């Protein structure tokens, strides 16, 4: 791997699993299929491809669940964050876009699995909107101590997920 190229980084919520890759993601997407809904506990899965040769695990490794005879899904076994989707026959690993340190920088270009799309998906953007500060008491916000890994690499990290 050419380390001179800038690396994109990300990882799970607790920080036990971290990755880095070079180059642009292949076909960043959202997938509405029922398997992705279950795997992410969500209405869709945001995923972007990286060539296996361009991807390194810089801390820990994902645990694997085989969701079908042709697909493996990776996740952090300490905190449960979904991290990867991979077809056995491809040399590409899809990474969960929300796990990127800077997810705003990758814009999805296609939607898959639309047969299972929530019928009210388009309506979501119009929901009444409240930022966290408007829906959480200030004294609670002040008292919260986050155990989430920061959105950048750390030299050492004491994952607090078992507390």
Query: 66 to each of 3, 50, 80, how far by Cα in Å?
Result: 32, 19, 15
Judged by CB under 5 A, the number of residues near Zn ion is: 10
Check binding of 96 to Zn ion (CB under 5 A). Answer: no
DSSP 53-67: GGEEEEES--EEEE-
**Residues within window 35-74 making contact with Zn ion, judged by CB under 5 A:** 36
Among 30, 50, 55, 78, binds Zn ion (CB under 5 A): 78
Check binding of 76 to Zn ion (CB under 5 A). Answer: yes
Show the tokens assigned to 146. 């986050």
Check binding of 79 to Zn ion (CB under 5 A). Answer: yes
Task: Write the Ramachandran bin of 113: left for phi over 0, alpha for psi from -120 to 50, otherwise beta.
Answer: left
Compare residues 20 and 36 and give the one whose CB is closer to Zn ion. 36
CA dihedral (154, 138, 127, 105) in degrees, to 10, reads -20
Check binding of 30 to Zn ion (CB under 5 A). Answer: no
Among 23, 98, 108, 113, binds Zn ion (CB under 5 A): 113
The residues that touch Zn ion, with contacts defined as CB under 5 A, are 12, 14, 16, 31, 33, 36, 76, 78-79, 113
């Amino acid at each position: 791997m050419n380390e001179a190229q800038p690396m994109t980084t990300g990882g799970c919520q607790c920080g036990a699993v971290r990755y880095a890759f070079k180059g642009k993601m292949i076909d960043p997407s959202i997938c509405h299929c029922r398997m992705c809904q279950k795997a992410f506990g969500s209405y869709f899965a945001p995923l972007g491809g990286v060539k296996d040769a361009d991807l390194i695990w810089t801390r820990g490794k994902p645990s694997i669940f085989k969701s079908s005879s042709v697909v493996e899904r990776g996740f952090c076994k300490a905190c449960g964050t979904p991290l990867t989707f991979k077809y056995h026959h491809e040399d590409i690993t899809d990474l969960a876009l929300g796990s990127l340190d800077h997810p705003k920088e990758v814009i999805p270009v296609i939607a898959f699995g639309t047969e299972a799309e929530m019928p009210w998906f388009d309506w979501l953007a119009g929901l009444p909107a409240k930022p966290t500060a408007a829906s959480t008491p200030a004294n609670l916000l002040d008292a919260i101590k986050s155990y989430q890994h920061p959105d950048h690499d750390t030299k050492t990290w004491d994952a607090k997920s078992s507390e």
